[in-house]
Amino acid sequence: MVTTTKARILEEAAKLFTEKGYEATSVQDVAQALGLSKAALYHHFRSKEEILLAISLQALEGLVRAGEEALAHPDPKEALLRFMEAHARYFEENYPFFVTMLQGIKSLSPENRALTNRLRDRHEANLRAILRRGVEAGVFRPVDVALTGRAVLSLLNWMIRWFRPGGPMRAVEVARAYHDLILRGLEDGSTRAQGA
């Protein structure tokens, strides 16, 4: 892959935004880290927000694609597992882009945020489709699909607060443990059976 200047700017910016925060990072910081002049950088992006938007859209487009590969599986439980694994794997493999996207959304203008929201909503709609299919097939309990989808994404997205790539656990292992918890629940099945 040829790494263009544009791609290098996005990578360096995502790294700095993740480390120092979006507000605390200037266009000058990004240019300096790459050995570029500010003018050279402005040739590619007109503003810091334009860089943030490009990073966020790239992260979300990749995330949506990764999630969509899980949709095809006919078994809703397996589709849910694959969706959660794909989300977690994508997060770990694209850590600075993913963190910048999730943390940066609040810094985007309403117009730009609408562009990212459309992708975020598509990802969430894909997850809800899996859940709805499971409920309709009687594989899942008749849960509130919107709230359950939100729960799944809460588990996965909160990982930006505690999970660091290169630690003792892979993100995909966390996703598997969460899938098991969400699927089977905490309650002991034998106790429940006795109670029923």
Residues of this chain that interact with its own copies (CB under 8 A) are 21, 23-24, 77, 80, 106, 131, 134, 138-141, 143-144, 147-148, 150-151, 153-155, 157-159, 161-162, 174, 177-178, 181-189, 191-193, 196
Measured from the CB atom, the residue of 165 and 185 that comes closer to its own copies is 185
Determine contact, residues 107/52, Cβ cutoff 8 Å: yes
Residues 143 and 135: beta-carbon distance below 8 Å: yes
> Is the CB of 73 or the CB of 150 nearer to its own copies?
150
Residue nearer to its own copies on the CB measure, 69 or 188: 188
Categorise residue 138: left if φ over 0, alpha if ψ from -120 to 50, beta otherwise: left
Q: How far apart are CA 104 and CA 112, in angstroms?
A: 11
Minimum CB distance to its own copies, residue 140 (Å):
5
Per-residue DSSP letter, 142 = S
159 sits in which H/E element: none
Nearest to 12 by CA among 28, 23, 2, 1: 28
**To the nearest whole angstrom, how small is the minimum distance from the Cβ of residue 32 to its own copies?**
20
State which residue, 7 or 172, has the beta carbon closest to its own copies. Answer: 172
Task: Give the DSSP letter of residue 161.
Answer: G
What's the closest the beta carbon of residue 4 comes to its own copies, in angstroms? 31
What are the φ and ψ backbone dihedral angles of 187, each rounded to 5 degrees?
-65, 140
Closest to its own copies by CB, 38 or 192: 192
Task: Tell me the two tokens of residue 99.
Answer: 């963190």
CA separation for the pair 93, 81 (Å, rounded): 18
Environment class of residue 13 by beta-carbon count within 10 Å: exposed (0-12), middle (13-18) or buried (19+)?
buried
